[in-house]
Structure 1
Amino acid sequence: MAKHASSPGRRFMKLAGMTASIAGKAVSNSIRNLNADEEQKNAAKSQMFQDIGLKIADTLGEMKGAVMKVGQIASQYKDIFPPEVAKAIAKLQRQAPPMPFEQIQQQVERELGRPLKELFAEFDPQPFAAASIGQVHQARLADGTAVVVKVQYPGVDEACESDLKQVRLALRLTGMLKIDRKLQDQLFAEIQESLNAELNYQIEAQNLQVFRTFHSQIDPHIIIPQVYTELSSRRVLTLSQELGENIETASTWSQELRNTLGRRLFRALGQEIFYLKRFHCDPHPGNFAFREDGSVIIYDFGGVKDLSPQIVQHYIDLVHAARRGDITSIDEGLLALKSITETGKFPEELYSAWLEVLMRPLVTDYDFAENSAHHDGVILAKKSLSYWDVFKPSPDTLMLNRTISGHYWNLIHLKVKDNYSDLLEELVPTKT
């Protein structure tokens, strides 16, 4: 099994080897296609991107630890990569093999300062979840309370900055990043910030406490695990065990119950965005569980995005403009969010068509299982390709777009059939 935390020198050499290999592929591709026509060049470039994407995914996947997490976070920003690369690195979201229990025990005892048998009455040596920077074990406290213990792999936080620089260099060598240098700096600064936050379980503990307090005052059916601070540290996080069914099981429940769960998910996200101005931004279905009393359990608060009041107001203005069908205001709002290069370039008829597709799941009696908006959006995307350079990834919208898109697919998996017009009225306040 590959080591989770290799020495800095070994890790650097692996990354440098990946970078050199990518550079070689780029140079070879350029030489081979000096006399090729446009179609041949595009086909060769697509093949090169596929090869490079696989090389990045294989290298980062082998290395585990911080650099694999860098790849996972980068894959969340797939809009900035060619589709061939995005598809290849998406597999980094899969679970990693577990670390030997002896090392996990040493990490817990080192972090909490006491022998494991004094900290917990029981501690299952077999993890029930393992990911890129840590794994999760079930345990019991002295009073019999069931808890889960999230343990970070030793050493993964040692060289994050250099790992991220190496990955960025590898991507830049082939011109794979479809954005200018200034925007690259902004996006990679955000990736670094996300990585630092996920590597510090004390930040996640604070997030859990904030979101638990916020939601408990509004809806007791949004359940967020309780933090046991005396059994937590920067690299160990002990939480109450909150059990529920996965999304596949929940999708077999009655339509009424599935609609209740869907509304609860939708409302919780809206409340976080427009009122808390911080939102849980990892919509992976594995981060949610469901109960037959209509409760939704939310896990993993390592990924949280803060929103400024100005950005939230831009979103509010956009929602109101969309409901009015005001194309001019939408164009101006997207410019304010740095999501388009300039106003007046994208045709009004295409704006109107996109507006209908995007608003359809919100303001009509919509069957998410049928998923008509997505299918029509794919067709519309082909018609819009010649104007695609008008749009650009924005640091202010990337994580929100990803979160909304992820929850759209969660509602599809739940087979929700509902009309969210009333929730939209409830959640989006008028401009102050």
Structure 2
Amino acid sequence: MSDDPSIPSGRLKRLTRIAGMATQVGASLATDRVKRLLGRESDGHAVMAQRVLETLGSLKGAALKAGQALTLFSSQLPPEARVIIGKLFSQAPRLPFAEIATVIQEELGAPPSEIFAEFSEEPFAAASLGQVHEARLRTGERVAVKVQYPGIAAALEDDLRNLESLLKSVGMGGLLLDAHEYAEEIRRELSGELDYRRELAQLEHYRGLLAPWPDLVVPKAWPELSTGRVLTLERLEGPTLNELAHDVDSLPEEVRFRRGEQLLRAVCGPWMLHRTIHADTHPGNYLALPDGRLGVLDFGSVKTGSEPFWRCTLVCARALMEGSSLDWVTIHEQGGFHIGISKDKAQKLLEEISRIAVTPLQEPYDYATDTIIEKLSELKLRYPLDLIRIRPPAESLMVGRAMAGLLQNLRALKVRGDFRPFFRNTLNTALAGPR
């Protein structure tokens, strides 16, 4: 894939690129359907996936981050399309090395050749806000150097303004989510990811939260070689969960379960015990290390929730574990959910949601056949006017993003097993005292 010489800037230009992509994808899928109806072979999905990769990869910023989120829900695409779209996690079009070297010199005071014993000009990962290069320190350690794209802050701001306009346009007079409240939450979290000093602090904090589980690894950091736009970390090596999923049927069931259980602890453990969650749970952020440990990467999006909302999630999880339904009082009065329908209607909806959400917590569960997200989507079709009047607090966005990603990762890895002991023990510990 050729180098991308620049990141397109300007709200209209970036929005036009996305609109053009959507038109081409729609035409590709329509052609694909016609060919299939005529009994002909078609590469429509692969063409569509390639177009998505090229467009979102070149735009980077929030546009690419949104594309990465959508790839979590690509399980219905054919394998060749999933492989192409999966590249959004680490193989988006790269910027020329000269631009990256300029950022390093501006941030660290010297070119890469003077700071590092070796520095690869080819990135081994390229994502939404920066790309990652392998290097070797003069003391011998192999490191991964994440360098922020020049101009990405302006591009991200353009994307966020487009997003806010979109949310306002679908606000339906306040019946949907509070556009301003949600847009501000997204703006706050994504803008915070531009500050690599903040990410470094969150990495060290999360390392402490994962300390009880030595098989969960957070890479060592070099603060003296890290700034607001450059982050130098230990180079962990191993296939990502996304790569494991491409050949998942070759993995023994016990290996898939162990990786799934590690992922569950990495995401849910810090949230349940410390109100803090790694919100960017796409499969490119987890490495299956050769010694059996799980590497956890990318701490730009780490969210600490409020005590009332956190406790609400635990109380709801315990109710589901015990076979009870979610209740209106917990959701509304304790969790900060705004409920604009009658208590009876709300309780009926919560009971239906409970019947769907409880399935993994009742018996050993096969995530390969999981349909929780699909069934919850069906509820939106059955109760559209009621559900849009139930508004969760803005802080739930990042927690929901993390849990949706976790669920999709378990499904992609075809994990089968019983996670109830973990939930039961962790809930008992968490609810035993204040946090």
Q: Under a length normalisation based on structure 2, what TM-score does the superposition of the two structures give?
A: 0.76
Kindly tell me: are residues 179 and 297 of structure 1, through their superposed partners in 2, closer, same or farther at Cα, counting changes over 3 Å?
farther
**Who is 1:298 aligned against?**
296
Whether the aligned pair in 2 keeps the contact of 1:73 and 1:195 (CA below 8 Å) is no
1:84-103 deviation per Cα after TM superposition (whole angstroms, max 9, x unaligned): xxxxxx99956531111111
- Is the deviation greater in 190-199 or in 285-294? 285-294
Match of 1:263 in 2: 261
Change beyond 3 A, Cα 1:134–1:122: same
Secondary structure of 1:157's partner?
Answer: helix
Q: Are 1:96 and 1:130, in contact at CA under 8 Å, matched by a contact in 2?
A: yes
For structure 2, which runs of at least 5 residues remain unmatched after alignment? Answer: 21-51, 71-84
| Aligned partner of residue 403 in structure 1, secondary structure | helix
**8 A contact 2:134–2:145 mirrored in 1:** yes
1:118 CA drift (Å)? 2.1
Look up the match of 2:107: 111
Letter matched to residue 256 of structure 1: E
CA contact (8 A) 1:272 1:278 kept: yes
Q: CA deviation at 1:350?
A: 5.2
- SS of corresponding position for 1:132: coil
Q: What residue number does 1:430 align with?
A: 431
Equivalent residue number for residue 46 of structure 1: none
Q: Matched residue pairs, number?
A: 378
Counterpart position of 2:366? 367
- Over 3 Å counting, the alpha-carbon distance change for 1:384 and 1:202 in structure 2 is same
Give the share of equivalent positions with the same residue, in percent. 28
Residue equivalent to 2:357: 358
**Do the aligned partners of residues 394 and 147 (structure 1) sit closer, same or farther apart at CA in structure 2, a change above 3 Å counting?**
same
- 2:340–2:390: 8 Å Cα contact kept in structure 1? yes
Answer yes or no: is 1:197 the counterpart of 2:189: no
**Structure 2 residue aligned with 1:231:** 225
C-alpha root-mean-square deviation of aligned residues, in Å?
A: 3.5
Q: Deviations over 1:314-342 (max 9, x none)?
A: 11222233334544x62222223326434
Q: Which residue of the partner structure matches residue 102 of structure 1?
A: 98
Q: Does structure 2 conserve the Cα–Cα contact (< 8 Å) formed by 1:96 and 1:131? A: yes
The answer for the alignment partner of 2:312 in structure 1 is: 314
Helix, strand or coil at the partner of 2:345: coil
Query: Which secondary structure does the structure 2 equivalent of 1:346 belong to?
Result: helix
Report the Cα offset of residue 343 of structure 1: 4.9
Please give the TM-score of this superposition, normalised by the length of structure 1: 0.76
Does residue 70 (structure 1) correspond to residue 71 (structure 2)? The answer is no
CA contact (8 A) 2:200 2:231 kept: yes
Find the aligned partners of 1:177 and 1:60 in 2 and give their Cα distance.
28
Cα displacement (A) at 1:225: 1.0
Question: For residue 396 of structure 1, what is the amino acid of its counterpart?
Answer: E
**Contact 1:257-1:294 at 8 Å conserved across structures:** no
Partner of 1:283: 281
Contact 1:257-1:292 at 8 Å conserved across structures: no
Contact 2:256–2:413 (Cα < 8 Å) also in 1: yes
Contact 1:108 1:236 in 2 (8 A): yes
CA contact (8 A) 1:231 1:237 kept: yes
2:331: which partner in 1?
334
Deviations 1:49-108 (A, max 9, x none): xxxxxxxx99984873xxx42334566898xxxxxxxxxxx9995653111111111111
- Structural mapping, 1:24-423, within 5 Å: 61=56, 64=59, 68-72=60-64, 95-158=91-154, 160-161=156-157, 164-169=160-165, 171=166, 175-177=169-171, 180=174, 183-215=178-210, 217-247=211-241, 248-249=243-244, 251=248, 252-291=250-289, 293-327=291-325, 330-335=327-332, 336-338=335-337, 340-346=339-345, 351-371=350-370, 373-374=372-373, 377=376, 382-385=381-384, 387-423=386-422
The answer as to whether partners of 2:164 and 2:179 remain within 8 angstroms in 1 is no
Separation in structure 2 between the aligned mates of residue 58 and residue 241 of structure 1, nearest angstrom: 26
Q: What are the Cα deviations for residues 147-189 of structure 1, in whole angstroms up to 9, with x where unaligned? A: 11101112322475465334423x267x234673982111111
Structure 1 Cα separation of the partners of residues 189 and 378 of structure 2: 34
Does 2:28 correspond to 1:4? Answer: no
What is the one-letter code of the residue matched to 2:253? Answer: Q
